[in-house]
Amino acid sequence: MAPDLLAIRRVTVRGTWRDARRTGPVVIGVARLLGDSEAMTALRDAVARAAAAPFPVLIEGESGTGKELVARALHEEGPRRDETFAAVNCATFSDDLIETELFGHAKGAFTGAMQSRRGLLEASSGGTVFLDEVGELSPRAQAKLLRTLQDGEIRKVGENVTRRLDLRVVAATNRTLAGEAAEGRFRRDLLYRLDVVHLHVPPLRARGSDIGRLATHYWDRTLMLTRGRARLARETMKALAAHEWPGNVRELQNVLAALAVAAPPHGEVGPELLPAAIRRAAEERRPTLAEARRAFDRAFVHEALARAGGRRSLAARELGLSRQGLAKLVERLGLAARRPL
Ligand SMILES: Nc1ncnc2c1ncn2[C@@H]1O[C@H](COP(=O)(O)OP(=O)(O)OP(=O)(O)O)[C@@H](O)[C@H]1O
Ligand SMILES: [Mg+2]
């Protein structure tokens, strides 16, 4: 496939707020981030503060937590809001084409280069480049990106002219990049270039009080698509609030979409239409003391690990545990398999 086509597949230059103004309700910036939990309020504040400064931002969080939404909010709250927001999925870069994709190429630079082409970085110059899934970059791609960020300039393949880059860099990952660096899978020097301002998007289970607001919002949006008019019963809301949501907000959206399809056109939607795993949550009695303690331990340890950026020795010190003690606790609480930890 020609490099041009590859680039088009991999980059979507999403609408700026000017487009948003034209196409209906204007929700831009941090207002996109719904939820009144302490964690969400703190995140909105952090995004607004980070947006005003020119420094690179690294967004970490589990899949479906809203990292891309945070990236957009950063762009829209900042001085570049009228410029391009280019989202680049790093997982799809091929090693062979990375240079032409990032930097572009001159006419005749290689067989088939019939015309000169701008690369992704030049095309988004002046705006924000969002390096999504940055933890997936190959070692070669990491090296190329590092050079560019260090030099602040690019040179097209097959050309000697350098061009200065004026970009806001925002990166996201559902891995813990510090942990990846500790294990030798991510360059530490690149980590330091990207992780200047650090934003952690908490999982939905750590901000259960947001579930009601999100569910109502996405239920209304789903009904606009299905033209339905049914309401969610109180028991249904309770079941949604009690679920753990391993797939976070995206899973909630999907469950509501399936529910809207199964729901009657009018009246109340009871919990019996929910998937069995979620429904059971509503049928359950109140938790025992042991269960409540375990839930508390899980959230507490999870937060400490997230704060420590996955560095277990740091988290262990904060929790007053030995490294082995923490490892055992993580195992016992069933937190081991879950990323990012
Ligand atoms: N706080 C929030 N308020 C409203 N919508 C949200 C919020 N957080 C996430 N969403 C919605 O949930 C969906 C998933 O969010 P997003 O794509 O930003 O997640 P992500 O962290 O980038 O996920 P992944 O790691 O899988 O790419 C999107 O439709 C987004 O609009
Ligand atoms: Mg994403």
Transcribe 64-125 into DSSP letters: TSSHHHHHHHHHHHSTTTTS-EEEEEGGG--TTTHHHHHHEE-TTSSTT--S-EE-HHHHTT
> Mean pLDDT across the stretch 95-107?
85
Confidence grade of residue 285 (pLDDT, cut at 50, 70, 90): low
| pLDDT higher than threshold 90 for residue 37 | yes
> Mean pLDDT across the stretch 59-81?
97
Q: State the pLDDT at residue 212.
A: 95
Does ligand 1 lie within 6 Å of residue 64's CB atom?
A: yes
Residue 26 Cα, ligand 1 centroid: separation in angstroms?
Answer: 18
Q: How many angstroms separate the CA atoms of 335 and 341, rounded?
A: 8
Q: State the pLDDT at residue 166.
A: 92
Q: State the pLDDT at residue 316.
A: 95
Q: State the pLDDT at residue 69.
A: 97
Tokens read off for 240: 């949604």
Ligand nearest to the CA of 65: 1
Residue 182 Cα, ligand 2 centroid: separation in angstroms?
Answer: 24
- Best mutation site among 38, 69, 256 for ligand 1 pocket (most ligand atoms within 8 Å of CB): 69
| pLDDT higher than threshold 80 for residue 303 | yes
| pLDDT higher than threshold 90 for residue 59 | yes
Q: State the pLDDT at residue 97.
A: 81
Mean pLDDT check: name the lowest of 162-166, 182-186, 200-204, 322-326.
Answer: 162-166
Residue 37 Cα, ligand 1 centroid: separation in angstroms?
Answer: 16
> Mean pLDDT across the stretch 216-232?
93
Angle of CA points 71, 137, 302, to nearest 5° = 60
Q: State the pLDDT at residue 98.
A: 82
Q: State the pLDDT at residue 24.
A: 47
Does ligand 1 lie within 6 Å of residue 249's CB atom?
A: yes
Residue percentage of the chain with pLDDT more than 70: 89
Q: State the pLDDT at residue 11.
A: 42
Residue percentage of the chain with pLDDT more than 90: 60
Does ligand 1 lie within 6 Å of residue 174's CB atom?
A: yes
Q: Phi and psi at residue 197, in whole multiples of 5°?
A: -105, 130
Q: State the pLDDT at residue 102.
A: 86
Mean pLDDT check: name the lowest of 18-22, 100-104, 325-329.
Answer: 18-22
> Mean pLDDT across the stretch 11-36?
62
Q: Are 186 and 58 within 8 A, CB to CB?
A: no
Ligand nearest to the CA of 250: 1
Q: State the pLDDT at residue 110.
A: 85
Residue nearest to ligand 1 atom 24, measured at CA: 63
> Mean pLDDT across the stretch 309-317?
91
Confidence grade of residue 282 (pLDDT, cut at 50, 70, 90): low
pTM of the model: 0.78
| pLDDT higher than threshold 50 for residue 144 | yes
pLDDT top residue among 331 and 286:
331
Q: State the pLDDT at residue 333.
A: 83
Residue 13 Cα, ligand 2 centroid: separation in angstroms?
Answer: 15
Q: State the pLDDT at residue 284.
A: 64
pLDDT top residue among 208 and 24:
208
pLDDT top residue among 27 and 142:
142
| pLDDT higher than threshold 70 for residue 60 | yes
Confidence grade of residue 341 (pLDDT, cut at 50, 70, 90): very low
| pLDDT higher than threshold 80 for residue 329 | yes
Of all atoms in ligand 1, which is nearest to the CA of residue 64? 23
Q: Calculate the average pLDDT of the chain.
A: 87
Q: How many angstroms separate the CA atoms of 325 and 330, rounded?
A: 9
Q: Are 157 and 122 within 8 A, CB to CB?
A: no
